[in-house]
Chain A
Amino acid sequence: MAPPTPASSTKKKVPLKPCPEPTKMTDRPGSVQDFSALRELLKPHIESFDYMADQGLQKMLEHIAPVQLTSIRGKFLNFMPYYAKFCCFDFLCFYSVPDCVGAFFFQQCRQAKISYTGKFTADICFQYNDGAIIRDNVDFGQFPIMLKSKLCHLRDVDPRKLASYKEEASEMGGYFILNGLERVVRLLILPKRNYPMSLVRNSFSGRQEGYTDKAVIIRCVRADQSSVSLKLYYLHNGSARLGFWMRGREYLLPVGIVLKALIDTSDREIYVNLTSCYNEKYEKGKGVVGTQLVGERAQIILDEVQELSLFTRLQCLEYIGKHFQPMMAGHVNDSFPNVAESVLKNYIFVHLDQNFDKFNLLIFMLQKLFSLVDQTSVPDNPDSLQNQEVLLPGHLITLYLKEKLEEWLQKGKRLLQDEIEKQDKTFIFGDILQVKKLMGKNLSKQISTAVENMLKTGRLVTQTGLDLQQRAGYTVMAERLNFLRFISHFRAVHRGASFAGLRTTTVRKLLPESWGFLCPVHTPDGEPCGLLNHMTSTCRITSFYDSQGNIKQDYSEVKKSILKVLIAVGMTQSVPKLVLPGPPQVLTVLLDGCIVGCIPSIQVEKVVAHIREFKVSSCLEIPDDLEVGYVPLSMGGAYPGLYLFTSSSRFVRPVRNISIRSDGDKNIELIGPFEQVFMEIRCPDGGDGGRKSSFPATHEEIHPTGMLSVVGNLTPWSDHNQSPRNMYQCQMAKQTMAFSSQTIQHRADQKLYHLQTPQSPIVRTSAYTKYSIDEFPTGTNAIVAVLAYTGYDMEDAMILNKSAVERGMFHGQIYQTETIDLTDQGRRSDRSSKVFKKSNVEKFACPALDSDGLPHVGQLIRPDEPYCSIYNEVSNSTHSFKKKASEPVYVDYVAVDGKTKKPFQKVNIRFRHPRNPVIGDKFSSRHGQKGVCSQLWPDIDMPFAGNTGMRPDLIINPHAFPSRMTIAMLLESVAAKGGSMHGEFVDATPFRSSVKKESEESESKSVSLVDELGLKLREKGFNYHGLEVLYSGVYGTELTCEIFIGPVYYQRLRHMVSDKFQVRSTGTIDQVTRQPIKGRKRGGGIRFGEMERDSLLAHGAAYLLHDRLHTCSDYHIADVCSLCGSMLNTTFIQPLKRPVREIGGLPPGRAPKKVTCHACRTSKGMETVAMPYVFRYLAAELAAMNIKMTLKLSNGAGA
């Protein structure tokens, strides 16, 4: 049989764009960039939201079951179905403040601290009996809109226009603005949909008596993205149970009943189906999954059903219906079979419509389960990316919205029901107007508010749990600390909050399956290590849009055409009553979790290659992101089969299919992590990678940098660094004080870091140009000398040249915004009476303020000076806001909300904290080499080069290199030196040696990187290795060795001493213990803890110990009664009973402070003892527990 050649269809697919080869290092000046590479990074977010707006919501509405309402009124019985359907769905990008017309721009939302929303309405359909459908348009409130999505009115605005709207020219959207804050929906890892996964988990055996630890799990997803997970447990007796969750409880059904209830079938048919995977012919060999035991188990399953005396389908349905009727809402008076049907429809294999398909899948899962038990296949790894997909923002919102709408319908039903039951004559059920009016009481606008709150807090408020593992942490703030941190939020994939608390490290492991999809370098170290990953720069997420941005064909169409292709290449299609054989003769073919047929195993490889050809070719029959998961026959490996996936939210990445001859980019194929495991992909260096000839490579990586994330790709020559250093750099790049935004003057972020004099790095990777990082540079090319010069560069400290800093190096500022909203100041009653105004009385009290109570722009405000004043017209009092800071700040701007009432109510005041480098600030190179500035060293004392007179900007210690092995930093220094002398940027794309050059010349290969860079230096009269003879700046003599010196791109990190230092002599104390309070903000102290105490004890520094723990803490002099030893009931100060005789002219004599013991009724034994105040507190606490504490006083050595 010859496979048909790919048919050409009317519409032509444009070949996928691979990541462009790095060629140009600079951009043409003056040209407008299109930022398409950046937009590509955010596509998963935007496309999923677009789909929700396009079709997703409609699909979701179709999946909402109509709510039925029955009423009994008077004489006649009214059967009133109350049918709801949403048809119309439209968004308007208008914010509905009455006197505010016109679309809001993002900037206005951020500035005014409002949400970027659109109106969300839907049609509710009412239908009486089978009468006409009456539609009612209901307003569901202001729905949050993702920026730059289809619903956003600035979607297709060009960069130039965006800039005129006070937006970033490169604005990419993908996030929401909620109360002025930018929030991103976190991408979450979910189990791969519609794929039965075999698992071994100890918790399974604890489920009930008789359960083993083995099960097959499938997460079934409906077209509206809602999902139901099913578990097929294996029992010790050989049978199996199908478990699913319904309303917070797991229900377990014997499989036999489900099998019989699904279709009309006989015991024999079930038996034959189950044992189809076992054939006596193949005793033990490659790809054999069934054993003799399968037949016995099938017998047990059938016997179980018989024991319950269930023989026919109807009996099974009744059995299920009887048990589930109480749980199924809306089926109160339904017949048992109907209830069962709805259970099967809504809970069992919800991704399939046909019961026959469900039956086949269940048989398949049983076979897989039995194979797992018989150890003819290994369990799947749920922590591997192979069995995972991702939760996208649009899908999450759709899910959440669905539940909220269902709740709303149920609430509406209850409202109507209550009204009917009231027997109130005024309410006529048949009158649609009255029904509508009543529905109006059901607050429809809360739906959007609920979604907005979900996005604001990241918390799901749900009863069903939506088949998701966690309740909180779905959204995060998209911090704009710098651009890299910002985009990393969109590329981050979290494993799930439930894994964070897990003690085991298995989930955090870097598995080979994630190669090319998740960056091995870009994960934080510490607590979220391995749980928070980042997608590689080439990784994409499948969506409902094709590569041109057109919405994909309907699924049924896609399925039909795929089936057509499959049948053409020799697949036996599955039809009812036909028993398909199992491995090893044939391989079962599953398409999105539906068994569509089987392919003889000898042909399957050809078929797979053929489908791949179709995938790559420009025809529409097979989508280009189809995942061809061919699990080959093996000796007890993964369960074999051909698993095809067309669904969305899968990871895919482009690789070159070299079995298809093509020039250029016509052979780029998108592959997923499921198929990748079984594919042979070679490195593009032209070698075989140690591959055996029996497994020839079929695919080739486009470029090795595709395995790194965007941030990871920015490290120059990261392949020359020790890998943890690259991880640290990924961390530090994201906490660099940089050029965070080009619209910084319009922004109202709480805190914004800004580098005043950034530079473009001389040494840069191809990704730097590709993602236009030059728009947001993160550091400065500093001349770095590597030497131990003063001793101030020990232990990762670094010396900055004072003059270099004075000339502007690493200068920066922090912008901080205070929002003052009069509408939420104080109580409701006096809100309206407040205005921004300076006090009339003390006119000259605060010169910083203008008469309108606001500061002047550019004004310097010192600590504890007022920056804003509010005047209450009713109480005639002023209230001023004081700046709590340790340093003076400048007023950067004052923005007032002029759109609302005349005396404005809302003000944003932005302050500017100058942050020029000081001792203690943190800096780092791009190679995980961080250091703290230890001195600003005078320029004249710095070493200088004899011939050029060059003095370093920065000195680091040579000890930073041997153990860290950041060779790339040395390379960068040499390369940047050569580059700056030649006046050109240097390409530092990693893995250069692993790429086949286009014009391969054998001799050029031998030239190593160092040689290339060294020659460039030599051309300009420098030492080949970047060394230079330096002279001491202090003595003018030659330093005894040559010094490695050159420009290195340095970043200034956001950790600055000015934000961290903490000092205290005296200050506020805790009310209860009288010890100093903690916290830098409140002027507290630093805890002198147990370990510190231990060290002082060990040193014998008793006086210091006493000083720290007592004198400077809660020193207290207590009166103790030595007679009874109590310190609590003794301290009554005896009130002076007799009146004090006053002697004229003399001041009243101070009554002697007399302390008596209440218990002993005498003051004889009173002594004063110095003690920590907490000791008294302890005594009081103990007394409260009826424990008396007595002190025995003695004199010094007396003991």
Chain B
Amino acid sequence: MEGGVSYARMPRVKIRDLKDDYAKFELRDTDASIANALRRVMIAEVPTIAIDLVEIETNSSVLNDEFIAHRLGLIPLTSQRAMSMRFSRDCDACDGDGQCEYCSVEFHLLVKCMTDQTLDVTSKDLISSDHTVTPVDFVDSSLAEPSDTSTNRGIIIVKLRRGQELKLRAIARKGIGKDHAKWSPAATVTFMYEPEIHINEDLMESLTLEEKKEWVESSPTHVFDIDPVTQQVSVVEPEAYTYDDEVLKKAEAMGKPGLVEINAKQDSFIFTVESTGAIKASQLVLNAIEILKTKLDAVRLSEDTVEADDQFGELGAHLRGG
């Protein structure tokens, strides 16, 4: 990297697209370690609330108790409260048995099928003791029919036939994705390096239209296009490039190496975040930054760091915030 990148940089974020469960943003002026740390924290360390303990009273369904408990655990619960909640393992109010209001939410489920039709038990049947923590409502906002019940039925837990019954009490607790995937708020978090694509115009002009077309087609994603009028090849969507080197290989095969030059910018990233619905995607990013900060604070304020100060001089001081 030219110029010797200083570690004192001010990263910039530019939001491109923001929906409840989806966010796309650019992260610039930082490096891969920060970007990846953010990704990892979003997947594994942003806390959410998920069902952790199930007491089954009656279960005459076709699925066994563990199966139902597992399915319940995977239901995303709205977890805006999660950041302020306590982990039940260090909750003082209940001595860590995880049943108090500060660290847990109780759910009840009581369904019995009385008709001949198969009854779907869904996440909607879970009755929460806390109105802020409820199963995530999957309403597709693109469908402007909120009253349409057929599309809005929650997550199926089990199906019951006549006479079968399911009765249980469930305790939801705060947790992080590192402990169990059910606490992960992220469906997908990924980032890619922003590509820099330079077409060698002179070399490109030496190609016939046929060849240009062939070359453009060689990329599986729609990165380049030919202007129908000027017949010039242009980069239409650089971010669609997947670093698959297909166009480079093609250029080489056509005997025109250097037709295009593609570099990954080492300091800018395009993030895609999809949330499970437990928290909003935007909140997920903010929470992740918060947690990352807390983690850094933990390092900064730790006794070991103070000791290291003497050993490592300036770096140690910097770590401490000097």
Cα separation A892 to B32 with both chains bound (whole Å):
51
B65 touches A858 (CB 8 A): yes
A803 at the interface (CB under 8 A from B): yes
- CB contacts (< 8 Å) of A811 on chain B: these are 67, 70
- CB contacts (< 8 Å) of B62 on chain A: these are 745
Given A914-B66, A949-B188, A807 and B74 touching (CB < 8 A)?
A: yes
A949 touches B240 (CB 8 A): no
Best-buried of A939, A1028, A1034, A1042 by chain B (most CB within 10 Å)? A939
Chain A 1008-1050, CB within 8 Å of chain B: the 1/0 string? Answer: 0000000001101111100111010111111000100000000
A1036 touches B39 (CB 8 A): yes
A1035 touches B32 (CB 8 A): yes
Chosen A-B contacts, 15 in total, with CB atoms closer than 8 Å, are A756-B67, A806-B181, A808-B70, A938-B44, A939-B44, A940-B40, A940-B43, A946-B242, A947-B192, A1021-B222, A1023-B220, A1031-B36, A1036-B32, A1042-B244, A1042-B245
Which residue of chain B lies nearest to A1020 when distances are taken between CB atoms in the complex?
Answer: B220
Cα separation A1037 to B184 with both chains bound (whole Å):
23
B244 touches A1023 (CB 8 A): yes
A547 at the interface (CB under 8 A from B): no
A859 to chain B, nearest CB (A): 10
A912 at the interface (CB under 8 A from B): yes
Given A939-B184, A946-B190, A949-B188, A890 and B220 touching (CB < 8 A)?
A: no
Which residue of chain A lies nearest to B264 when distances are taken between CB atoms in the complex?
Answer: A1038
Q: What 9 additional pairs, Cβ within 8 angstroms, besides A802-B181, A890-B65, A940-B40?
A: A806-B180, A806-B181, A813-B66, A944-B190, A1018-B220, A1022-B220, A1029-B244, A1035-B32, A1036-B39
Q: Looking at chain B's contact residues, is the secondary structure mostly helix, strand, loop, or mixed?
A: mixed
Interface residues of B in 233-261 (CB under 8 A from A): 240, 242-246
Given A946-B242, A1042-B244, A1037 and B177 touching (CB < 8 A)?
A: no
Which residue of chain A lies nearest to B187 when distances are taken between CB atoms in the complex?
Answer: A949
Which residue of chain A lies nearest to B56 when distances are taken between CB atoms in the complex?
Answer: A858
B64 at the interface (CB under 8 A from A): yes
B1 to chain A, nearest CB (A): 13
List the 9 shortest-distance A-B pairs measured between CB atoms, nearest first. A1036-B36, A949-B190, A946-B192, A803-B181, A949-B188, A806-B181, A1036-B32, A1021-B221, A940-B40
B46 to chain A, nearest CB (A): 12
When the two chains form the complex, which single residue of A756, A1021, A1027, A1038 contacts B193, counting CB atoms closer than 8 Å?
A1038
Which residue of chain A lies nearest to B243 when distances are taken between CB atoms in the complex?
Answer: A1029
Cα separation A803 to B182 with both chains bound (whole Å):
8
Which residue of chain A lies nearest to B36 when distances are taken between CB atoms in the complex?
Answer: A1036
- CB contacts (< 8 Å) of B178 on chain A: these are 938, 940
Interface residues of A in 696-732 (CB under 8 A from B): none
A213 to chain B, nearest CB (A): 65
Chain B 32-47, CB within 8 Å of chain A: the 1/0 string? Answer: 1101110110011000
Cα separation A912 to B70 with both chains bound (whole Å):
15
B272 at the interface (CB under 8 A from A): yes
Which residue of chain A lies nearest to B41 when distances are taken between CB atoms in the complex?
Answer: A940
B288 to chain A, nearest CB (A): 12
B191 at the interface (CB under 8 A from A): yes
Which residue of chain B lies nearest to A808 when distances are taken between CB atoms in the complex?
Answer: B70
Report the count of interface residues on A (CB-CB < 8 A). 43
Cα separation A950 to B43 with both chains bound (whole Å):
13
B220 touches A940 (CB 8 A): no
A945 at the interface (CB under 8 A from B): yes
A948 at the interface (CB under 8 A from B): yes
- CB contacts (< 8 Å) of B133 on chain A: these are none
Interface, chain B (partner A; CB < 8 A)? 32-33, 35-37, 39-40, 43-44, 56, 59, 62, 64-67, 70, 74, 177-178, 180-182, 184, 188-193, 220-222, 240, 242-246, 264, 272, 274
A569 to chain B, nearest CB (A): 64
Cα separation A713 to B253 with both chains bound (whole Å):
40
B190 touches A948 (CB 8 A): yes
Best-buried of A802, A1028, A1029, A1033 by chain B (most CB within 10 Å)? A1029
B35 to chain A, nearest CB (A): 6
Which residue of chain B lies nearest to A745 when distances are taken between CB atoms in the complex?
Answer: B62
- CB contacts (< 8 Å) of A804 on chain B: these are 181
Cα separation A97 to B164 with both chains bound (whole Å):
32
Which residue of chain B lies nearest to A1018 when distances are taken between CB atoms in the complex?
Answer: B220
Chain A 719-753, CB within 8 Å of chain B: the 1/0 string? Answer: 00000000000000000000000000100000000
When the two chains form the complex, which single residue of A949, A1017, A1036 contacts B33, counting CB atoms closer than 8 Å?
A1036
Which residue of chain B lies nearest to A1036 when distances are taken between CB atoms in the complex?
Answer: B36
Interface residues of A in 849-906 (CB under 8 A from B): 858, 890, 892
Cα separation A939 to B182 with both chains bound (whole Å):
12
Chain A 739-771, CB within 8 Å of chain B: the 1/0 string? Answer: 000000100000000001000000000000000
A1021 touches B192 (CB 8 A): no
- CB contacts (< 8 Å) of A950 on chain B: these are 188
B37 to chain A, nearest CB (A): 8
B256 to chain A, nearest CB (A): 20
A1038 touches B243 (CB 8 A): yes
Cα separation A756 to B65 with both chains bound (whole Å):
12
Cα separation A813 to B64 with both chains bound (whole Å):
10
A331 to chain B, nearest CB (A): 67
Cα separation A946 to B182 with both chains bound (whole Å):
23
Cα separation A808 to B37 with both chains bound (whole Å):
27
Cα separation A370 to B117 with both chains bound (whole Å):
78
Cα separation A1022 to B242 with both chains bound (whole Å):
9
A949 touches B66 (CB 8 A): no
- CB contacts (< 8 Å) of A802 on chain B: these are 181
Interface residues of A in 790-826 (CB under 8 A from B): 802-804, 806-808, 811, 813
Cα separation A211 to B40 with both chains bound (whole Å):
85
- CB contacts (< 8 Å) of B180 on chain A: these are 806
Cα separation A576 to B191 with both chains bound (whole Å):
95
A946 touches B64 (CB 8 A): no
A1109 to chain B, nearest CB (A): 45
Cα separation A813 to B67 with both chains bound (whole Å):
10
Cα separation A947 to B272 with both chains bound (whole Å):
8
Given A890-B64, A1023-B246, A939 and B191 touching (CB < 8 A)?
A: no
When the two chains form the complex, which single residue of A806, A912, A1029, A1033 contacts B182, counting CB atoms closer than 8 Å?
A806
- CB contacts (< 8 Å) of A858 on chain B: these are 56, 59, 65
Cα separation A1018 to B242 with both chains bound (whole Å):
12
- CB contacts (< 8 Å) of B190 on chain A: these are 944-949
Cα separation A770 to B193 with both chains bound (whole Å):
48
Cα separation A896 to B238 with both chains bound (whole Å):
70
- CB contacts (< 8 Å) of A1031 on chain B: these are 36, 192
- CB contacts (< 8 Å) of A1018 on chain B: these are 220
- CB contacts (< 8 Å) of B59 on chain A: these are 858
Which residue of chain B lies nearest to A1022 when distances are taken between CB atoms in the complex?
Answer: B220
Cα separation A1028 to B243 with both chains bound (whole Å):
9
B44 touches A940 (CB 8 A): yes
When the two chains form the complex, which single residue of A745, A1029, A1035, A1036 contacts B242, counting CB atoms closer than 8 Å?
A1029
Which residue of chain B lies nearest to A803 when distances are taken between CB atoms in the complex?
Answer: B181
- CB contacts (< 8 Å) of A1017 on chain B: these are 220
Chain A 928-946, CB within 8 Å of chain B: the 1/0 string? Answer: 0000000000111000111
- CB contacts (< 8 Å) of B40 on chain A: these are 940, 1033
- CB contacts (< 8 Å) of A944 on chain B: these are 190
Cα separation A1037 to B269 with both chains bound (whole Å):
11
Which residue of chain A lies nearest to B274 when distances are taken between CB atoms in the complex?
Answer: A949
B242 touches A1028 (CB 8 A): yes
- CB contacts (< 8 Å) of B240 on chain A: these are 1021
- CB contacts (< 8 Å) of A890 on chain B: these are 64-66
Cα separation A947 to B219 with both chains bound (whole Å):
15
When the two chains form the complex, which single residue of B193, B220, B245, B274 contacts A946, counting CB atoms closer than 8 Å?
B193
A1020 to chain B, nearest CB (A): 8
Best-buried of B37, B191, B222 by chain A (most CB within 10 Å)? B191
Which residue of chain A lies nearest to B31 when distances are taken between CB atoms in the complex?
Answer: A1036
- CB contacts (< 8 Å) of B245 on chain A: these are 1042
- CB contacts (< 8 Å) of B177 on chain A: these are 803, 939-940
- CB contacts (< 8 Å) of B35 on chain A: these are 1036
Which residue of chain A lies nearest to B184 when distances are taken between CB atoms in the complex?
Answer: A803
